[in-house]
Amino acid sequence: MSESGRAAVFVGTGKPFEMREYPIPEPGPRDMVVRVCRANICGSDLHLWRGDTNLMSMGVTYGIVLGHEMTGEVVRMGAKVRGDSLGRPLKEGNRVVFSYYVPCDRCQACIKGCSHMCISSLMSPVRSCDMAPHFFGGFADYYYVKSRQSVFKLPEGVDTAEAAGANCALSQVLHGLEKANLSFGETVVVQGAGGLGLFACAVAKDMGAKKVIAIDGIPARLELAKRFGADETINIHEVADGRARVARVMDLTGGWGGDVVVEVVGRPEVVNEGIRMVARGGRYLEMGNINPKHTYKADPSLLVGWNRSIIAVSLYPPDVLPRAIDFLERTRGRYPFDELLSNDYSLEDIDQAFHEADALSGSGSGITRASIVPELSLSAAKPKDQQRDQPQGVA
């Protein structure tokens, strides 16, 4: 193994990534270092890259390593690491998934048992990669896992590519739908059929939703949404008027609306339309709008008169991630998880990956998740069937 690794460093909006080389760190006694197998470009990475979130105003010093939705293989373990967060034996070479935030364990949220709400949680964008151990984000050859992060060994039957979406998109929607108290036999509307939205369709079905309606503007995504469990789809270009879309949802639900309406578009302008789709006593699950100061004009009577509520969630508690992995294993073959990742790129091609993910996400080409695979050699993106790794130990 070479003694150093590359990191694609983000130095500011509009600037190309800088490829830097850092020594592979020796982990602290309870920490570990993983080799990144793949790191997906999540919507929030695109927000940061575009500058939708003003990192400078949040005191962030460039350069930083973006990327948090990922999976890797343990290459160096601290002397005191005995197993994963469920106590299962772990050794170098094992594939793992892990929560991408580092709670402090020393704040009111952490002592309440809500480490995902930690007041001083560390995530990749808030740590300059000039500091050791450098590998704070997923768009690099390595990632440094602190002892306070939850780590789970991947079962042999779960493909590395399928698992890469588990620690952000899948865990996020699983936690959100649970917080929104989705109950057996209820109806779910999903605004936005990207990575989170597609997982939301499948998880909602698995939780017993009677009907799932997916809304998006990209026909290929809507087709995929059906294969992820959506019973009905609405193309926003075919039903171009917001009120008509609300009427369509009401039609499809016998005039009732969605018991849970999930916002994973990430734009405030969809919120009022989404709330109008919520049934009496229903819940609007807000997860996509993460950018401060992107606002919408609110009419509180839309909530009060219908006994609707808004549930907002960010991140997820540690117990969600192993259940997300269990879901992937248990429902293998039922949903086309491998089709969530539409385009693979080498680390060197990260600029191209971001530009294409950004441009294509609104163009109708159907891109869902672009994924950075550091071990791909210097080349343009290859067709994904030539790159995809097979599950280990499965014939």
Q: Residues in the site for Zn ion, rule: CB under 5 A?
A: 42, 44, 69, 103-104, 107, 110, 118, 168
- Residue 317 CA: distances (Å) to CA of 42, 114, 117, 279: 19, 7, 9, 28
Burial class (CB in 10 A: 0-12, 13-18, 19+), 267: middle
3-class SS at 224? helix
Please identify which residue in the block is written with the tokens 């069937």.
Answer: 385
Complex with Zn ion: residue 193 or 279, whichever CB lies closer? 193
CB of 8 to Zn ion, least distance (A): 17
CB of 109 to Zn ion, least distance (A): 5
Complex with Zn ion: residue 107 or 310, whichever CB lies closer? 107
113-118 long-range CB contacts below 8 Å, 24 or more apart?
Answer: 113/317, 114/317, 115/148, 115/317, 115/318, 116/314, 116/315, 116/316, 116/317, 116/318, 117/314, 117/315
CB of 314 to Zn ion, least distance (A): 11
CB of 95 to Zn ion, least distance (A): 20
Complex with Zn ion: residue 5 or 137, whichever CB lies closer? 137
Complex with Zn ion: residue 168 or 224, whichever CB lies closer? 168
The closest alpha carbon to 34, from 138, 156, 159, 154, belongs to: 138
Complex with Zn ion: residue 133 or 288, whichever CB lies closer? 288
Please identify which residue in the block is written with the tokens 């959506």.
Answer: 230
CB of 280 to Zn ion, least distance (A): 32
CB of 341 to Zn ion, least distance (A): 14
CB of 83 to Zn ion, least distance (A): 24
Complex with Zn ion: residue 76 or 116, whichever CB lies closer? 116
DSSP state of 326: H
Complex with Zn ion: residue 233 or 291, whichever CB lies closer? 291
Please identify which residue in the block is written with the tokens 């772990």.
Answer: 90
Whole-angstrom distance, CA of residue 133 vs CA of residue 27 = 9
Question: What length does the chain have?
Answer: 395
